[in-house]
Every structure is written in structure tokens, then in C-alpha cells.
Structure 1
Amino acid sequence: MKAFKLIPVLFLFLLGSCSSIKVNSDYDQSVDFSQYKTYAFHKRGVDRVEISGLDKKRILNAIDTELSKKGMIKSDNPDLLVNIFTKERERIDVNQYNAGWGYGWGYGWNPYLWGGRTYVSSYVEGTLYIDLIDAKKKELIWEGEGVGYLTEDRERKEIKINEFVAKILAQFPPK
């Protein structure tokens, strides 16, 4: 009987652990993206990002990897400047499961509900923005955003950051 009571908790855990990253992007439709072949990081913008130095390095390395896969080259005289911005917020979910209605003994005497349980979980939701700026015009031409759950586990953190960046940059260049 106790195993049946643990099933909702197990389901919540599995659902949370395989949650996906939601991404979207926006861009200037008048821009010919085929003209951009080189990039560099916008140092002043990247320096302002308020995350740990190690996480910043992970994000920049993931961006390097993804842009290289697209045939772009890092340069001291770039066509594009890459900027990042992050934010996070704590999310709290409250889920209530009821086993049935009527009179009876559940968890304590409850004349209306039988076998109900409430589960509360909290997690940190992070957002990563990647901005691509025309280096000559100093104009934003493309912006990607990824929203998903963050982890403190160092090995999973690197995997999660790589996944965030890959999914965001999969939308660049726009088709």
C-alpha cells in the first residue's frame, strides 16, 4: 500500500528531471545573415553578466562550439559581436492528489476526502539570452532565449548549459 503512495512523488521527480528547455528567437528580417562569417564576444556586455566565472566560461565555451559547427570563425575583427544575459527565479509548484471522495480514514480523519496528499516542490528556473550584434553598425540583429531548470550538480550543470546553448543557437541563422 505504501508503494502506491510513493508513485505520485516518483512521477513528479521523473517529470522534473526530464524537463525540457523552451527556446525562441527574434531577428531583424531586413538583414542578410549569410554575410556574417566571424564573431567575437562583446567583452563589456559579457563582463556585466552576474553569474559565477565558471558558469560564464561554460556558456562562452558552448557558444564557441556551436558557432564553430555553423562554420563561423572567432576573430579580432568580427562581423558579429556576441553578448549574453542571464536571469533566474525560484519557482514553487504545489500539487494535490486525491485518492477518492466520501467518508473514511485517510491521513487523519477527514470526513470529505479520503487519501489526499499535497506535494510542494521548488526549483530554480533560469533564462539565458544570446544576442548577436552587427559589429559595424552596432545594431542588434538576432536574439535567442532559452528557459529551463537549473542544477547545482557540477557535471549535470555543464551538460545543461551545453543543451541550453545548442537549442538556442539551433535557431540561428533564421531560415
Structure 2
Amino acid sequence: MKTLKYIFLLLFVTSCGTVVNYDYEKSTDFTQYKTYNYFDDMQTGLSQLDNKRIMKAIDAKLSAMGLIRSDNPDFFIDIQSQDVMNRNNSNVGVGVGGGGRGGFGGVSVGLPLGGNQSTREIVIDFVDKSQNEKLFWQAVSESSYSPNASPEKREATFAKLVEKIFSGYPPK
């Protein structure tokens, strides 16, 4: 029984994490990119305040990586996001069976665990405008979030998310 508890705890902890997928143009020389800026007409899908929070987190991370925000950048950043409602399909099956004198029978019931979970998908694109708006790096993240979180919690969430997203930049 103890083992079953640990398995459920492990599944719960791993299911709440952020998933990040990366893609990039293999022929790109990432060392040539030293300056960046954001597209002026970004439609991020975030509130104005959350937009400022994620841009602040990105600026801090890229600055720590030695990149500089510039009015004449080497590349532009585009941010897009959407809220996704995931249905929770996790359940526990409880079964009762019996048999005797040539017959077998059984009843099984699925009990749902938890409820629906809100997740946010955020896509960050790095685009080289000097090469005909060539997309050279992209990160797609999906993570759970609370739409009623405090401003401090939202800022911390974006900081953690950006840290995880940029752990894959530049590609090795």
C-alpha cells in the first residue's frame, strides 16, 4: 500500500510540471546573434500586465546570457499564447468479481481523480528579419496556471517558465 501511495505522489508531481519543446534551424550560427528586440505588433494573448511580466523575465534571462536589447537588433522575438482546458482523464478503477458453478461475473467502476486543469501554451519565436523573416529558433511550452494567482505569484511563475524555456537556447 505504501508503494501505491508513492506512485500516486510521483505521478502527481510529474504531471504538474512544465513541458517545453524546442525546434531550430540546424544551419543557424547562433553566435552571430548578440542583440534582440520584440515585434511591435505582437498579439501575445496575455493581459497587458502578464505581457510586461513575461517580457521582463525574458529580458533578465537574455541579459544574463549576454544578449542586449536594441533598437537595431540582430533578431526579433514574437510571443504567442493561448489558454487550453485539459480534461482530466485520470481515474481509479474499482472492481468486484466472483465466480462459481459455471458462471463468472464482475462489476467495475471508474472514479475520477481531481478535476479539469487549466494550462497555458506559450510559443516564443526568434526571427531574423534581415533574412526575410527567417524563423531560426522556437520554444513551445505548456504549463498549468492559476488565473486567480496574485501578481507576485504570476511574476514568479513567469520567471520559472522563462528559465526553463531558455535552458534550451542556444541549442547544443
TM-score normalised by length of structure 2: 0.78
Offset of 1:87 from its aligned partner?
1.4
> Within the alignment, does 1:126 sit opposite 2:123 as a pair?
no
- Divergent runs of 4+, >6 A: none
Offset of 1:99 from its aligned partner?
5.3
Superposed, which structure 2 residues align to 1:26-65 within 5 Å? Answer: 26-44=23-41, 46=42, 48-65=43-60
Q: CA RMSD in A?
A: 2.7
Equivalent residue for 2:21? Answer: 24
Answer with 53-62 or 146-155: which moved more: 146-155
Superposed, which structure 2 residues align to 1:53-92 within 5 Å? Answer: 53-92=48-87
- The separation in 2 between residues aligned to 1:116 and 1:49, in whole angstroms, is 39
Offset of 1:157 from its aligned partner?
2.2
- The separation in 2 between residues aligned to 1:27 and 1:80, in whole angstroms, is 14
Question: Secondary structure of 1:71's partner?
Answer: coil
* 1:56-113 alpha-carbon deviations (Å, 9 max, x no partner): 111111110111111001111111111101112111214333455258xxxxxxx955
Offset of 1:140 from its aligned partner?
1.1
* 1:118-162 alpha-carbon deviations (Å, 9 max, x no partner): 335011111111111113222111111111111121233222222
Task: State whether residues 33 and 74 of structure 2, in contact with CA within 8 Å, keep that contact through their aligned partners in structure 1.
Answer: yes
Equivalent residue for 1:163? Answer: 160
Equivalent residue for 1:108? Answer: none
- The separation in 2 between residues aligned to 1:115 and 1:86, in whole angstroms, is 38
Question: Secondary structure of 2:71's partner?
Answer: coil
Superposed, which structure 2 residues align to 1:94-109 within 5 Å? Answer: 94-98=89-93, 101-102=96-97
Letter in 1 for 2:120: G
Aligned length, in residue pairs = 158
Letter in 1 for 2:117: Y
Offset of 1:166 from its aligned partner?
1.4
Unmatched runs of 5 consecutive residues or more in structure 2: 99-104
Task: State whether residues 130 and 144 of structure 1, in contact with CA within 8 Å, keep that contact through their aligned partners in structure 2.
Answer: yes
TM-score normalised by length of structure 1: 0.77
- The separation in 1 between residues aligned to 2:158 and 2:114, in whole angstroms, is 26
Equivalent residue for 2:136? Answer: 141
Query: Against the structure 1 CA distance between its residues 39 and 22, is the aligned structure 2 distance closer, same or farther, given a 3 Å change threshold?
Result: same
Task: State whether residues 50 and 86 of structure 1, in contact with CA within 8 Å, keep that contact through their aligned partners in structure 2.
Answer: yes
Task: State whether residues 49 and 84 of structure 1, in contact with CA within 8 Å, keep that contact through their aligned partners in structure 2.
Answer: yes
